[in-house]
Structure formats: structure tokens, C-alpha cells
A and B are shown apart, each in its own frame.
Chain A
């Protein structure tokens, strides 16, 4: 369960990105965050990831207030979260395999386990035959899939994706969304920031619309998922 209470964010340069956001997201939910460019979608996700601190308000994740965590606790929190960054944030001097392995290495898992989990997840996104390449030798869509693989490899309890289909043609976008749906069905909470209307229509789910730093609409859960969403 994720809860935000009157969360506001003003960046250091004085730009207000979020005004006062209050929302409840039960575990296992699938939520879209949409809105025009600059509305604060990325900022909202970054706050959940503790990559930014809120200027005001409180954020509770699993009953825990995450607004004042020590660096070490932030690190621990992030191990349970997968994040697909808008700009991927891959290491260009390391191979696809090493990039995807990184979140597991950081947790000191045995090498054998790392290798098999990385291979599995790369197979899942269809890149197992390019695991020796570096990100710069991949297309934009392939890089995006590496970013998705890195987010999924830790079996996260919460998956945050910032425009995960922005660089993909429709077929690949659908594939990625289907993966997210599958992860969601396995119990992971998924939050996707996007302004891809086609995706929104093809994979309907609860949708938060941001406008100028405020939530202007929280869509009624789609009818066919009614009982699942009304927790």
C-alpha cells in the first residue's frame, strides 16, 4: 500500500513540479499516471523512489514513512523497487549482461544465481542473444528493453516505469505492456507514467491524470476489473 498525503515538490531552482498530491494505491494495483509534458509525472515517480525528497507532505510505503530515511535505508528500499527510467540510465561501458546483473551484484547474491536470473529475464525481453553488446550498440527500443529487464530482475514488489514505451513501435510497446500485466498478475504493484493514448485504451487500468502538479482526475476503475481494483 502506497499513500501520499498533500505531497508537494519544489525543485531547488524554484520550479514547482507538484502542488498537493494525495492518493492511495493498494498493493497489487496497476496504475497509469498521465498528463501533458511537464505535468509532474516523472517527479511523482522519483519521489516514490526516494530519488527526490518531497518539499512538503508525507509518503507512506507499506506503512513506513519514507520522507526521512537514512542513505542506507534508501538503498534497502530501492532493492524492492524496479525502476524503468525515462532516459534508461544504462552503463554504456558495460555489457547488457552486466547492466542487468548490477542490481543483483549490489545485493551480493552468488554469481551462479545472478547468471541464471539475468539470462532468464533477458530471454523474457528477447535480448538473450545480445547479452555481450554494450547499450550503445543497441537500438533505442532494445535499450529500453534492457532497462525493463534490469527493473524486473530483482522480482520487485513495486515496478515504476517512466514512459517505458516511448521509443518503441506499437508491437514492441504492446509486448512490454503485456509483460507488465503479467508481473502485475504475479502480485507486483505497477505504476506506469505515459501519455500514449493507444496503450491506455488497449490496456485499460486505473488512471491518474496530472495537470500542473495536481491530480485532476482519478479514473473510475475499468468495469471488467471492478472487483480487483476496489480493494
Chain B
């Protein structure tokens, strides 16, 4: 008789081929002590963290720590209830007010994670006669959301506004509403949406709305950190922004903001909002404080981009292939999953933590060593990271030893 787990046999074989020898694997990395935003003890070794999405380094912001401590003592460790039951404290409504002020929108809704915000909004917003047009490289939470939607789902080619335009034109005679879904910065490769062109395509077609997931661009792009729409000057065209507190905001939680006058009806119908417990008070307090720090965080963004440029330049000068231009996500492309896994282990053993990302979770079937920068990485840390990359890549035969010296000298 078939075992209930038999259907995972292929995946288990793949996992065992890559990691079955008992060495370190990405599924069991444990930070035994967090030393700072950029360093932790992993298996007893001091390790530089270059894969945490902690873009601005706000996880230990003193103002947020103080607010979180106070909220914890005042409100307890959890709300034990959904936002529409006993789980809305004044902290939650203040955080929504802070989001409205941050984005200058009429409405804001706080979810318990960014995953739930995407899944909740996208599964609910559109009906059976409607169409969702999503970028093919969208995040898993967007895929899960649209899969649960009654709408017709159409993918367009990654970052290809002309392809989107063509697909919208084909739907011109269909009566339903259309929702375009993109991300500001795509998580795996760190590339940005052509937001101006997408906004122009949206304006061209009737009954067409635009949602942007700003998970990786909140706090990172724009003078005031409002993400790619702010940087590109098209905020008026973006009808819904979804975001997370789990990256630059340095805690956990998700949200959606919008100017649509009827937006609040979603509080009654989004199951991922109604049927899950709300964020604990300490998290809510920290998120609110850090949103303020992000609004005034121009100096942090400058440091983040300087660090991004430093790592991108350093790694490409070694002769490594980087998947996209300068961005706070620096994804090094390895030739295949086996080499990527060995590379990843070599880096970790030498004291550098990055994310290992393998197909089918990656665009183009890439095998990636995905690094993400933090504003508070020091130049010395990044030079050490580059040197360790050089050593491991040389030992794997991926780069010529002399290129390293050329780059360094």
C-alpha cells in the first residue's frame, strides 16, 4: 500500500542527494545567539549575516525596543483573538493610523503576516467574472492567494509591460474588472518592476487596477521609504500596496493600504484577517516606531545602497555571475544545485550566512546564493564576506585564482 508521504519521494531524493551526507543543511541552521543585526552564533561559530532581509538594521532600534518593552508590560504577551473579535487594541488602530500617515492613504489594514495580507486580499478581492494579471515571478503568497480566488488568473512575462499590455488588450471585451499584481523589488534576484511603464499600461485599459507588493522595497526605495511607486512618481496609479513588517520594519506582520473608499469592507470578508489572531502588542508597538524611523531614514537608505554597491562590485569583480544590477539583494548564480549547495556550505563553514535558493523556487531555474544587505554592515564585514566568497569560489573552480588578486589589487 502507498505511504501517505510517497508523493514527496522525488523531493526527498533530491534533498538527500544534496544534503544526505550529514553535513550542514539550510533546513536546520539555528542561531544560538544573535549578537547584532549583522552577526550571530551559528553552531558555535561567529557568523556574518548577509541573508536576513533586515535591510535597515532596525531589529535593535533602541526606540522600538523601549516601545515594545512598554507595550509588552502593559498589554501582555498576546491578544488571544482576531482583529474582529477581542484582538484590536488601541495599538493596532494607532499602527493603522501610522500607516495611513506614512503612505498618505485613506485606508490601512494590518494583518498578522505579509503572507496572510497577500493571501487574504488576493483570494477575496476579485470575483468569478474578473481577471488577475500577475507577473510570472511573483511570491508564493501571491500564487497561493490567486489560486484561492474565484477570478481568472493570467500570468504575464516577468517585468514585461508590453506583454501585460497585449494580455489586457485581449480582455478588452470582457466585462469583468482586471487587477494587475507586481512586486516593487523581486525577492529572489533583487530586480525592480518597470513601475512607470506598468502604471502607463494600467491607465490605458478600462476597469483596471494595480496592486504592488512592496515587501522588499518598503524602507529601501523612495525619499521617504515608500517604495518603488514613490521613487518612480506613480503612487497615484497604485490602487493597493501590500507590505510586510518582517523585512525593513524589523519585526513581523503585514498590511494593505489603499485610497479606495470602500476598502474597509475587506475587514469583513478577508478570511486571513477575520480568522487568525492579531499581532501581539509588543510587535505592534515596534512596527509603529520603526515606520517613523523609516520615514526619516534617508541616511540609512544611503548606507544600504552604498553597501549594496560595495558587495555587488566586489563579487562581480571576482568573476562571479550576479543575477541583476545593483540592489539590496545580491544573488550569485551557481552552475547547478549541487555546486550551489556545496558553495553555501563552504560559506557557512567559513563564517558567512546567505540564503540558498534552488529551482523550482527561482526564476530561470537558477541555483542561487542569495545575499541581502543591511545598512549597518560595515565595510570591513563586507570585505571579509567578499574574501570568503573568493576563497570558496576558487576552491570550487568557479573563478580563476588570479582574478581574485586582480580585483584586490
Asked if A and B are interacting partners, one says no
Which chain B residues have a beta carbon within 8 Å of chain A's beta carbons? none
A residues within 8 Å of B by Cβ? none
